[in-house]
Structures are given as structure tokens and as C-alpha cells.
Amino acid sequence: MNLESQVAPLAEALRMKELGFPQDTEFTWWRTLPDGKPQVEGPVGGYYESHEFEALCAAPTVAEMGEWMPRSIGEYGLEVTAWESGVWNLSYFDEKGNTLDHYGTGSSEAEARARLLIALAESGALDVKGLK
């Protein structure tokens, strides 16, 4: 398992930054300058002390995103499903099996969590200002 599969993918992490999600996470998406490939790293040190770099955005982990995600919305509870095909799905269901329109699907749990958080924030179902 690589680190990139445990954090929000760059495209989703950049959208989360635009929406105002916290940027003080354990890991960060960085790019070495002038034209380096984006990569996930922990706090600045070591390699970055001797190279020019640009911090792109936070790279929240599955655990950090789990802390931000509401356990329930009204009578709808969070359900996490991992299919044998490798697809992850997160959505909210009530006791009767009804679902909210908000869901996140991805090839990793981190991607699915990031997509659900984005959907919740964009719809107004999640206020990102109160997140830590």
C-alpha cells in the first residue's frame, strides 16, 4: 500500500482547498520547482531543505477525512462499502434503505471519502468552517 492511496488525490485535494477545508493536515501535496511532479510528503524537512518546492494543498488522510465526515445527516447514517472490484462507495442510508443524493465513489477509500466530502460541502450539507 502506498501513501498516495491513503490521502485525497491531488484533484480532489485542490477542490477541497477551494471549498475551505482545513489545510493543516499531517501530509501535503508538494511539487519541486521548477517543473517537478506533484508528490505527497510529510512535514517539510530533509529533501525539501535543499530544494525549491511549492506546497500545493493539504493531503488529508483517510483518518483525517473520517473525522470531518458527519456520522449521520438527520436519520441517514453513513455506510462504507468496499467491492471486490476495488471500488469504494460511501453514502448515507436510513433504516428503510432510502439514500441521500450525496455519495462518494472511488478506486480507493481516500478518493471516495474526498468525493463525498466535496459533494456535502458543495450542497451545503457540511459547513467546512467548523472543521479542525
Per-residue pLDDT of the chain (132 residues; tens, 9 = 90+): 688 889 999 999 999 999 999 999 999 998 877 777 888 877 655 555 556 778 899 999 999 999 999 999 999 999 999 999 999 999 999 999 898 888 999 999 999 999 999 999 999 999 999 898
- Residue 53 confidence (pLDDT): 77
Q: Position 60: which residue type?
A: P
Go through the chain and tell me how many residues it has: 132
How confident is the model at residue 7, as a pLDDT? Answer: 97
Strands (E), 1-132: 28-32, 39-41, 53-58, 72-73, 76-82, 88-93, 99-106
Full-model pTM: 0.88
How far, in Å, CA of 106 to CA of 1, rounded?
Answer: 16
